Structure 1
Amino acid sequence: MNPLASLTDAVPTPFWLDDPQRPESHPALVGGTRCDLLVVGGGYTGLWTALVAKERDPGADVVLIEADRVGGAASGRNGGFCEASLTHGLGNGLERWPDEIGRLERLGRENLQAIEDTVARHGIDCSWERTGSLDVATEPYQLDDLAEVAEASARYGGEPLLLDAEAVRAEIDSPTFLGGVWNKDVAMVNPARLAWGLKRACLDLGVRVYEHTPATKLDEHGAVIAVRTPYGRVTTSRVALATNAYQSPLRRHRPYTVPVYDYALMTEPLTDEQLASLGWRHRQGFADCANKFHYVRLSADNRILWGGYDAVYHYRGRVRAEHDQRPETFATLARHFFTTFPQLEGVRFTHTWGGAIDTSTRFCVFFDTSHHGKVAYAAGFTGLGVGASRFGAETMLDLLAGDHTERTELELVRRKPLPFPPEPVRAIGIGVTQWSMARADRNQGRRNTWLKALDRFGLGFDS
């Protein structure tokens, strides 16, 4: 079977959002209003900020505004890997914050548990599964790196399981797998239903939610901040910006992230026989160890989500709906799928989609405040925001309150990454980096002079 034939009937829409249980959107804000805290953005970061703010102070008047629909962007179309890591993996954290990595790993595990507790407490129906995730080697040179990752994880409180080729194929059977590490501090989740469940929890606690309400301008007037929207103005004493891949109303915020498009396919539900041919009894997610990597997991109804590989930047960082579909990437992903799982020949894909990721030069979240401490923002999660967004919310609220906490003392919080350069240097640099990363994958992982220079200055590009 030609792998491309598997795409014949796929609909161009995110699988998670193509759900009959998708809630109706709330009306836009019309007219002015006042509140104690305004949250700008209705993805995970904004939803967690509003929810935690109400849990901390039930009497606070909290308003959340969203330009489109809650959960309609990255939060409703990602792979659904809810990871404990706050640093885009232990390796990145060790390289950048070696003196506080133990604390960051502990805070990440506590954050993951707090998410699980919230899901249970509010009865959020999001197919939460604490299965963990596998990092798999598909080239021999990657095996030593996996062993180092496992050793480091155990040193900082993790409980990794290092698997040889036979053991990893006993978990998920692919002829391409040569070894793996099973990280237990990961949950699989239906990402859209998590966002919708957080929205409902916010409403239950009294948060006022307005969808189809973009923030167009932010002004300071003495002790208050005025945020303009198309049909009115919100006056508040504190603002949490959670716009992530989308353009922030705060100009100084914008150079620190670029939107990178990531793409995914979803198969039809597997039959019992097809699933048995893979093993996969423990339902872990997995990702391979290449620079241009794939991320893969099972849905609640035993479909396979197959995503990643290409990370596409559009000149000047344009975020547009037409970028959500990229047939050449879908064709590449389909070919790779059947190389990894030849026993699934004949399986068809039902959905194709993409979306923008907020990428920073250090691959993980950063923070800052402005307007004399009345405005805070968190952004740059670089594809690992499902879990880390809650940590980002707690940290923003600490910063807005002026509290000195374990979170605000972290170097990760106190220092921002280097910004991306302006165009056209930005696009040229990203293009050279992508070419170099693909070349390293073809060359036993060897990094060329360009990548080594980026490493030296703590710069990077990822999704």
Structure 2
Amino acid sequence: MDDGESVYRGLSLWHGTVADDLTPRSPLPGDTAVDVAVVGGGLTGLWTAYYLLQRDPGLRIAVLEKHIAGFGASGRNGGWCSALFPASTTALVREHGRDATLAMRRAMVDTVDEVGRVAAAEGIDCDFVKGGTLSLARSEVQLSAARAEVVTARAYGVDDLRLVQTAVAGALGGAVDPACARLHPAKLVRGLARVVEARGARIFEGTEVLGWEPHRVLTARGTVTADHVVIATEGYGATIPQTRRDVLPLYSLMIATEPLTDAAWRSIGIEHGQTFTDYRHLLVYGQRTADNRFAFGGRGARYHWGSRIRAEYDRAPRVFEHLRASLVDLFPEAAGARVTHRWGGPLGVPRDWHASVHHDRATGIARAGGYVGDGLSTTNLAGRTLADLITGASSTLTALPWVGHRSPRWEREPLRFVGANLGLAAMAVADAEEAVTGRPSLAARVMAPLTGH
């Protein structure tokens, strides 16, 4: 097995089970001129290339990727293709007004189906099943939170959230959001890379981008001149001087178990295609994979000084133990299941937890990101929106309120380090507070404006 192939196989469950050869494509051969240069071979960049080529098949597009397509969050995430947007509906209304917010919510709900439609049309077998998200309420405080969420959703009339009784042991009830599909993220991103390549885009892997300027991208292997430059680096933007303080790389980690029997899953109460979470403040998320595993993740890994991103941060034994304990607490049937995979990686977090899309026609520089872990579908909406902006089309997408949104920059160290890690600690405190008091957490209420709520 090629050394590069072996290294990338170990990134995650998803990389380990995708059928692709993960040997890197050839790097940029030297100075090149194209119509559109895309920095980053994840879903934002690949969706942008896909929709640009739909609009104009003759475009010369180069995708520049330091590692391999799908190396980052696009290939390692929890596999939720959901209508979630990092800023809450209430926060969006405060900033943009009701009508703009409802347009944004409708676009997000529609995007879930768009991902499924394209996957089917292009023959990308990514285990896409639209089974919805089950959010479990495991205490009276959490049940009250579920009720409040449903009331809010009904008030806006876009999201079809509903309260349910559930067969999951220990749950008092929960809420189901039908606007979510379970999928295999590496199969999606790797399949999309093959599709855009077949349509004429060139993907240069093993090509580190050093920076950019109007109409030019500077790499370790040459300069790419382009009419338009698309910055699609998400959390890895923190490693590039130009965007170092625009995004905070917050680590999210995951585990996966060996496959369970169908009988075990019937007892657990999670259907194929269904994703799940609960109403705790320190987020957890999971899915039943197509091959009957638990894929389960959550926050809790600390932020590293100076927004450093290192391979060793992808694996934190303390967090993995916490995830294992949380999974068994939620589903005791998982206690005997062997954990076969452990992995993680950085998410991109803007200062106000508000994703955005930009295009400056004068400089040719476009960018999208800040998904805070809700990017599996949001990247598709970003790609369609950027394709419209770059080609000069005026559409309902280019009028959405995230277009042109400017997030504040993150503070300099040590304030960034202290604030980010205090925020994580506060969410753990909030969960403990609710367990002790049986009342909604004051700590969570204080933190809400800082986390997009």
TM-score by length of 2: 0.90
After the TM superposition, which residues 371-450 of structure 1 pair with which residues of structure 2 at under 5 Å, given as runs?
372-444=362-434, 445-448=440-443
Structure 2 residue matching 1:354: 3-state secondary structure: strand
Shift of 1:233: 1.6
Shift of 1:418: 1.9
Structure 1 CA distance, aligned partners of 2:106 and 2:73?
26
State which drifts further: 227-236 or 124-133: 227-236
Query: Where does residue 266 of structure 2 map in the other structure?
Result: 276
Amino acid at match of 2:177: N
Query: Where does residue 203 of structure 1 map in the other structure?
Result: 197
State which drifts further: 282-291 or 292-301: 282-291
Amino acid at match of 2:409: P
Shift of 1:401: 3.7
Q: Deviations over 1:170-219 (max 9, x none)?
A: xxx232x2221110010111000000110011012111111111211323
Structure 2 residue matching 1:281: 3-state secondary structure: coil
Query: Where does residue 42 of structure 1 map in the other structure?
Result: 41
CA contact (8 A) 2:217 2:225 kept: yes
Query: Where does residue 160 of structure 1 map in the other structure?
Result: 161
Structure 1 CA distance, aligned partners of 2:290 and 2:44?
24
Shift of 1:406: 2.5
Amino acid at match of 1:157: V
Shift of 1:312: 2.4
Structure 2 residue matching 1:301: 3-state secondary structure: coil
Shift of 1:282: 5.0
Amino acid at match of 1:459: L
Query: Where does residue 119 of structure 2 map in the other structure?
Result: 119
Structure 2 CA distance, aligned partners of 1:375 and 1:250?
15
After the TM superposition, which residues 71-86 of structure 1 pair with which residues of structure 2 at under 5 Å, given as runs?
71-86=70-85
Shift of 1:143: 1.8
Structure 1 residue matching 2:16: 3-state secondary structure: coil
Choose from 250, 273, 281 the match for 1:291. 281
After the TM superposition, which residues 449-460 of structure 1 pair with which residues of structure 2 at under 5 Å, given as runs?
452=446, 455=448, 458-460=449-451
Structure 1 CA distance, aligned partners of 2:18 and 2:364?
40
CA contact (8 A) 1:61 1:207 kept: yes
Shift of 1:111: 1.9
Amino acid at match of 2:150: A
Query: 1:152–1:32: structure 2 CA closer, same or farther, 3 Å change rule?
Result: same
Query: Where does residue 15 of structure 1 map in the other structure?
Result: 13
Query: Where does residue 106 of structure 2 map in the other structure?
Result: 106
Query: 1:258–1:85: structure 2 CA closer, same or farther, 3 Å change rule?
Result: same
Q: Which runs of 5+ in 1 are unaligned?
A: 1-10
CA contact (8 A) 2:135 2:278 kept: yes
Structure 1 CA distance, aligned partners of 2:169 and 2:94?
32
Structure 1 CA distance, aligned partners of 2:239 and 2:310?
17
Query: Where does residue 219 of structure 1 map in the other structure?
Result: 213
CA RMSD of aligned residues (A): 2.3
Q: Percent identity over the alignment? A: 30
- The answer to whether the aligner puts 1:330 opposite 2:320 as a matched pair is yes
Query: 1:437–1:119: structure 2 CA closer, same or farther, 3 Å change rule?
Result: same
Shift of 1:371: 7.7
Shift of 1:341: 1.7
Query: Where does residue 230 of structure 1 map in the other structure?
Result: 220
Query: 1:248–1:13: structure 2 CA closer, same or farther, 3 Å change rule?
Result: closer
Amino acid at match of 1:158: D
Shift of 1:378: 0.8
Query: Where does residue 315 of structure 1 map in the other structure?
Result: 305
Amino acid at match of 1:159: D
Shift of 1:95: 4.9
Query: 1:292–1:17: structure 2 CA closer, same or farther, 3 Å change rule?
Result: same
CA contact (8 A) 1:81 1:188 kept: yes
Structure 1 CA distance, aligned partners of 2:162 and 2:300?
29
Query: 1:196–1:22: structure 2 CA closer, same or farther, 3 Å change rule?
Result: same
Query: 1:391–1:88: structure 2 CA closer, same or farther, 3 Å change rule?
Result: same
Shift of 1:93: 3.7
Query: 1:281–1:391: structure 2 CA closer, same or farther, 3 Å change rule?
Result: closer
Structure 1 residue matching 2:140: 3-state secondary structure: coil
Structure 2 CA distance, aligned partners of 1:75 and 1:56?
24
Query: 1:158–1:370: structure 2 CA closer, same or farther, 3 Å change rule?
Result: closer
Shift of 1:135: 1.6
Structure 1 CA distance, aligned partners of 2:329 and 2:343?
21
Shift of 1:236: 0.8
Amino acid at match of 1:58: P
Q: Deviations over 1:50-87 (max 9, x none)?
A: 11110111111111111100001111111000012344
Amino acid at match of 2:25: H
Structure 1 CA distance, aligned partners of 2:406 and 2:138?
34
CA contact (8 A) 1:159 1:183 kept: yes
Structure 2 residue matching 1:125: 3-state secondary structure: coil
After the TM superposition, which residues 182-193 of structure 1 pair with which residues of structure 2 at under 5 Å, given as runs?
182-193=176-187
- The answer to whether the aligner puts 1:133 opposite 2:133 as a matched pair is yes
The alignment covers a number of residue pairs equal to: 437
Query: 1:89–1:411: structure 2 CA closer, same or farther, 3 Å change rule?
Result: closer
CA contact (8 A) 2:10 2:16 kept: no
Q: Deviations over 1:218-251 (max 9, x none)?
A: 233xxxx221222222111101110111136875
Q: Deviations over 1:148-167 (max 9, x none)?
A: 2223323422322211xxx2
Shift of 1:403: 4.1
Structure 1 residue matching 2:403: 3-state secondary structure: helix
Moved over 4 A (4+): 248-252
Structure 1 CA distance, aligned partners of 2:96 and 2:147?
21
Query: 1:65–1:248: structure 2 CA closer, same or farther, 3 Å change rule?
Result: farther
